[in-house]
Amino acid sequence: MKSEKRESNILKYRKPRHMNIGIVVFGIIFIYLIATIIMYITAPHVTAYEVRQGSILKDNAYTALALRSEVIVYADAAGYINYYVEDNSKVRVGTDVYTLSSQELNFDQVATDTEATLTKDEEKALMTKIQSFNENFHEADYTSVYQFKNELQGSLDEYTSHSKLSQLNQLLTSGNYSGVTLKSAADDGIIVFSMDGMEAITPETVTIGQLSKGNYKKTEFLNNTSISSGDPIYKLVTDDKWSLMFEISEETAETLVGKSTVKINFKKDNQELRANLELQEKNGKHIAILYFHNSMIRYINDRYLDIELVLEDETGLKIPKSAETSKDFYIVPKSYLTQGGNSSDEGVLLQGKNEDGNTITQFFSVTVYYEEEDMIYLDPNVFEEGAVLLKPDSAEEYPLKEIRSLKGVYCINKGYAVFKQIEILCESDDYYIIEEGNDFGLSNYDHIALDAETINENDVVF
């Protein structure tokens, strides 16, 4: 007996799907967070910069040729020469300067009461010379070592020269030497025991090649050396006036046009002097000539001097160039500025019309962004086009139409961007020095937007 399958008429009941509100809310929040993160990552960020006091020194370095009124003195007889005045000392006509003897003098034979020693000041001066030479020495100019050796020897001779006259007298009285002649100065001046063959050069006769230090040589005059009649024996500088000459670029020449004086920094001792300026052209090259009336003796032994031509030296508030922006303003006569009847706020009287079409006068509070002589700068965005101002206690009218641009930055001290005017004094590659103490500008420790391109006026800054 076959079993029969029973057909069932039971239908499965499908449960209705219920929306989970929690998952929906979580999804919306999740999408919002993702969108916020993406917007934050892709949006430009405002970086704050703290304004601080600073300075910019803009200079150009040169090696300049020094020119003076120099006279070479020559020997009128042969013999062994010894000097009895210090190098770089002032002498007058008739001052005993050197002796000539038929044979070399031996000062070691002279008995002295005290041993020749250097004073503390003399030791300090020698150490300063050694340190300066060490800091400025270049292996490419090795011959300067020999020049420096001679300069040191000359300095040591200077420190002992005050006793040489007494030593000479002892030699003469001893009878061991004869034919010693004492020679005096034939003119007033500052005596220098060296020469370089460039003593006769003047600003009118100098050549472009002489402005370069290449192959420069200097001869030192030393004690107890044999000379012939007609040999150079020392140099006299006869005037305190002197000059420096050096080649400059066309761009620098254009910068200096119209200037009568400039400030110079001497790298040798970091001394600053102001000089009278003259510009010349030689063979298509631009030449600067600086004239001085003092400090000649300070650099009397230097034919070439490393200097810095200080073109700008300003102190103020230092800001990055990236923070600079500009904004247009209405300019209005200051006489149109007044105060509101019920407050001390500054504002202007604005001509308008009421609902009936009648002309009325309204007080409108404004912010003055800058003041220049008798004109003030007002934000054009707060006025309707064609606005007309009324002068207080007068029937005069002033339509707002003339616009001028101001340079400025966005100050973010209050959490939103406020335009502040700046007055640029000088600049470097990356920074400006701006005027400090301006009532409409920045102050020390203000915070500004580092990059003006990343922000707009009145933007909120977190």
Q: Looking at the structure, tell me whether residues 301 and 394 fall in a common domain.
A: no
Comparing 281 with 110, the larger pLDDT belongs to 281
Q: What is the CA radius of gyration of the chain?
A: 42
5 part of a folded domain:
no
Q: Looking at the structure, tell me whether residues 351 and 240 fall in a common domain.
A: no
1 part of a folded domain:
no
| Under 8 Å between Cβ of 285 and 178 | no
Q: Looking at the structure, tell me whether residues 355 and 311 fall in a common domain.
A: no
Q: Looking at the structure, tell me whether residues 255 and 343 fall in a common domain.
A: no
Q: Looking at the structure, tell me whether residues 298 and 362 fall in a common domain.
A: no
247 token code pair? 């080649």
41 part of a folded domain:
no
Q: Looking at the structure, tell me whether residues 127 and 81 fall in a common domain.
A: yes
The rounded distance, in Å, linking the Cα atoms of 241 and 296 is 7
Q: Looking at the structure, tell me whether residues 126 and 191 fall in a common domain.
A: yes
Q: Looking at the structure, tell me whether residues 311 and 334 fall in a common domain.
A: no
One-letter amino acid for residue 288 of the chain: A
Average pLDDT estimate for 418-430: 89
28 part of a folded domain:
no
pLDDT at residue 46, rounded to an integer: 83
pLDDT tens for 30-63 read 898 988 888 767 666 788 999 999 887 777 889 9
Q: Looking at the structure, tell me whether residues 365 and 260 fall in a common domain.
A: no
Comparing 23 with 447, the larger pLDDT belongs to 447
> Is 429's pLDDT higher than 90?
no
**Nearest in space to 87 (alpha carbons), one of 201, 221, 218, 219:** 221
pLDDT at residue 194, rounded to an integer: 92
Q: Looking at the structure, tell me whether residues 344 and 231 fall in a common domain.
A: no
Write out the DSSP string of 242-279: EEEEEEE-HHHHHHHTT-SEEEEEETTTTEEEEEEEEE
Neighbours of 361 (CB within 10 A): 12
pLDDT tens for 369-394 read 999 888 999 999 999 888 999 998 88
Question: What total of structural domains would you count in the chain?
Answer: 2
Print the domain residue range for 248.
61-315
Alpha helices in 59-143 (DSSP H): 120-136
